[in-house]
Amino acid sequence: MEISFFEYVLWFIVAISVLVAAHEFGHYYVARRLGFKVLRFSIGFGRPLLRWRGGPPDHVEYWLSALPIGGYVKMLDEHEGPVDPNDRARAFHQRPIWQRVAVLLAGPAFNFLFAILAYWAMFVSGVQAVKPVIAAVETDSVAARAGIAPGDAIEAIGGEPVATWEDATLRFLDELLGDGRIDLALRSPDGVARDVELDVRGRSAEITEPTVLWSGLGIRLGLPPVVGKVVEGSPAEQAGLRAGDRMLRVDGEPVATWNEWAQYLRARPGATVEIALLRGDREIVTRATLKALVDRTGQSYNGVGVEQVDVFTVQRYGFIESLPRAVTETWKFSVFSVSMVAHMITGEVSLKNMSGPLSIGEIAGSSANAGFAMFLKFLAAVSISLGIINLFPIPLLDGGQIVYQLAEGIKGSPLSERVMLIGHQLGILFIIALMGFAFYNDVVRMFGS
């Protein structure tokens, strides 16, 4: 089901608001526990749309503000105005340095904690994913030269098992950052296991571009056009189709994925089509007349009367078992994200992987449309990214503020106002440049260069 631009924007706002709330709550909670005086907790910037005041003794203000692109926790600080002598000991810069660092670390820490909880809820409720079965292989491609064939299922990459296309993508990118030789364990449709090696030396940065990753290897993603079941009394049964048949062509048009097959047939209700299919090692050509009204059963029916082979898997675990899996998933994605950032800096990974608000909004909408579990998975991934980014040693971010506090501890006195001002100005310039580049990537990715 297609979703509108308005829905993309809506889900982007929902996602960012939830993740910012988790991040800022980390600062807020630890600050109050350690005795800092918190003046305001705001989700969003600008004028408040909703606000209320907490009880004594601090009467903290809680705001829901007009610009839903961030948030902040305002603490008592003599750098921002006069401080009542009675409250001076609770001002931010009067607290011990280790407490200030703890408060600053709490925001990213709560992002990681949120990711763990989101993965845990996802695993408990169950999430459907696609098994890493290769739909098609381009002629004379890296994959073809390695001996990969349509219908092969990827069971392991670099010696580590993979269960879904997402697992395969993350493992492939991780291996790609090595020596350029990637070992794959495959299983053919008839159950024969074999190992192959992909040689991508010298092409790492090119292949890591988001739209090039698998196509650069000559691998077509999607569901393979293989018949899983023939419906009794359907045009497919009358035409002699059998379970296990692989579609090759329809009316002479090559078919690489199930989606291509389905789209071709849906556009021709009532027509008679010529179908070329592969049965074992033999190519067979038959003709079938589509139903005038294109029915659908399960994933697809498509007028001919066949259902696709089952390539879906459901990741669902028990209430207790899901927790260590969630921790492991958070750790793995965190390590992977840090590795990707490091290799972007060195030029080994394409900078086109940076995503801005347009891409995040699109993915937020698509994942929400795919169900609650998929939206949780999206939130977990973005929360981890937000936590990592905020640890960068850049002024304005938590990591930069931590550097300031540590420098004060080493120096034995606060940094000068001039140094702090220059740092903030450099931080603003860096953030603007980073956001501008990410937005440019979004525009190119969505509308073409």
The residues annotated with a catalytic role in the active site are: 24
With a CB cutoff of 8 Å and minimum separation 6, the contacts of 371 are 127, 128
Q: Give 321-368 as a DSSP string.
A: THHHHHHHHHHHHHHHHHHHHHHHHTTSS-GGG---HHHHHHHHHHHH
Contacts of 222 (CB under 8 A, 6+ apart): 135, 256, 257, 258, 259, 260
Cβ atoms 443, 359 nearer than 8 A: no
Nearest to 344 by CA among 355, 332, 333: 355
- Token pair listed for 39: 């003046």
Give the torsion through C-alpha atoms of 391, 428, 21, 323, to 10 deg. Answer: -20
Q: Is the CB of residue 382 less than 8 Å from the CB of residue 118?
A: no
Radius of gyration of the chain (CA): 27
Residue 206 burial (CB count, 10 A) = 11
